[in-house]
Amino acid sequence: MLTLDEPLLLRTQDARGVLTLTLNRPQAFNALSEALLEALQREWAAIAEDESVRCVILAGAGKAFCAGHDLVEMRAEPSMDAYRALFGQCGQVMQAIARLPVPVIARVHGVATAAGCQLVAACDMAVASSKARFAVSGVNLGLFCSTPAVALSRNIGRKAAFEMLTTGEFISAEQALDKGLINRVAEPEALDAEIERLVSVLLTKPRVALAWGKDLFYRQLEMGVAAAYQAATQTMACNMMEDATLEGVQAFIEKRKPSW
C-alpha cells in the first residue's frame, strides 16, 4: 500500500547510466494525476541536462503499467480551463520524451490504456510482457481519446489506429507487436532480460551519436522529403565532426574496436 510520503515516481540509476523511472501509484493503476505528470516533467528536464544518463526505462508499479488519466481527479473539477490545462500538460510530458538526448524504453508488464497507451506510443521503444494489453478505451466512457490518437497514429497504421480509437477494444501484446506499437514481447519472467538485451546493445553506441540521431529522427518525420534530406545532411555533417565518430571511423579503417 502506497503511503503519503512515498514518491509518485521512483528513480534508480545504475553505474552504466541506465535510469529506471517507475510510476508509483499502484493503488490507482498508475493513473496520470496532475502531480504525477508534474513529476515526469521535472524528471525529463533533469535528464535533458544530465550527461551521465545513457538510457531510460519507464516502468509501472503494481499490476498495471498505466491506466491513463485519473478520472476521479478529472471529475472533481469539471471546467473547460481545467481540462485544457490537464490535457495540455499531458501533451507536453509526451512531447518531452522525443526531445531527450537518450533512448526511452517503456517496460510494459500490464495494461496500458488511454493516456497510458499514449505513453507507450510516445516512448522511443517499448518491450512488453506477453500478458500486457493495450487499449485507447475512452470512447467507452463517451470520451474519444483524441490526445492519445496523436501518438498512436504516429506509431501504427491509420486504419488500425482508428479501429482502436473507435471501438475501445483491447489488443494483446502480440497484436501490438504486429501493429508496430511495441518492439519486443517476452514472457513475464523474461521481460527484464529482454529489456537488458536491448539496453546492452544501445550502450555500445556513442551517446552523442544517438543524441544527434534521435533529434533528427523526430524532426524529419514532420517535414517534406526535401526538407528532411536537408536537415539530415546537416545532422550527419555535425555528427561526423564529433570526436567519438572520428574515432569510430578510424577504428573501422584500422580494423580494431573503437576506444569510447
pLDDT at 66 over 60: yes
Domain boundary among 202, 229, 244: 202
Give the integer Cα–Cα distance in Å for 76 and 85.
Answer: 14
pLDDT at 5 over 80: no
Same domain, yes or no: 91 and 143: yes
Render pLDDT for 8-36 as a digit per residue (tens, 0 to 9). 999 999 999 999 999 999 999 999 999 99
Query: What pLDDT is attached to residue 54?
Result: 98
Cβ proximity of 120 and 134 under 8 Å: yes
pLDDT at 166 over 60: yes
Candidates 45, 11, 26, 21; CA nearest to 107 is 21
Domain that holds residue 232: 207-253
Task: Report if residue 1 sits inside a domain.
Answer: no
pLDDT confidence of 45, banded at 50, 70, 90? very high
Grid cell digits, residue 253: 579503417
> The domain spanning residue 99 has which CATH number?
3.90.226.10
Give the integer Cα–Cα distance in Å for 108 and 131.
Answer: 9
Cα R_g (the chain), whole angstroms: 19
pLDDT at 177 over 60: yes
Give the integer Cα–Cα distance in Å for 117 and 144.
Answer: 14
Same domain, yes or no: 126 and 213: no
Number of compact structural domains in the chain: 2
126: β partners: 106
Query: What pLDDT is attached to residue 141?
Result: 95
pLDDT at 196 over 70: yes
Query: What pLDDT is attached to residue 77?
Result: 84
Q: Where are the alpha helices (DSSP H) in 123-224?
A: 146-152, 158-167, 173-179, 191-202, 207-221
Same domain, yes or no: 71 and 155: yes
pLDDT at 255 over 80: yes
Cβ proximity of 119 and 112 under 8 Å: yes
Mean pLDDT of 223-247: 94
pLDDT confidence of 4, banded at 50, 70, 90? low
Mean pLDDT of 103-132: 98
Share of the chain above pLDDT 90, in %: 96
Same domain, yes or no: 192 and 226: no
Mean pLDDT of 171-190: 98
Parallel, antiparallel, or unpaired for β 112-113 and 104-108?
Answer: unpaired
- 225 CB-contact burial (10 Å; exposed 0-12 / middle 13-18 / buried 19+): exposed
Task: Report if residue 259 sits inside a domain.
Answer: no
Same domain, yes or no: 142 and 65: yes
Mean pLDDT of the chain: 96
Mean pLDDT of 140-167: 97
pLDDT at 1 over 50: no
Domain boundary among 171, 186, 202: 202
> Residue 11 contacts by C-beta under 8 Å, 6 or more apart in sequence?
19, 20, 21, 22, 43
> The domain spanning residue 215 has which CATH number?
1.10.12.10
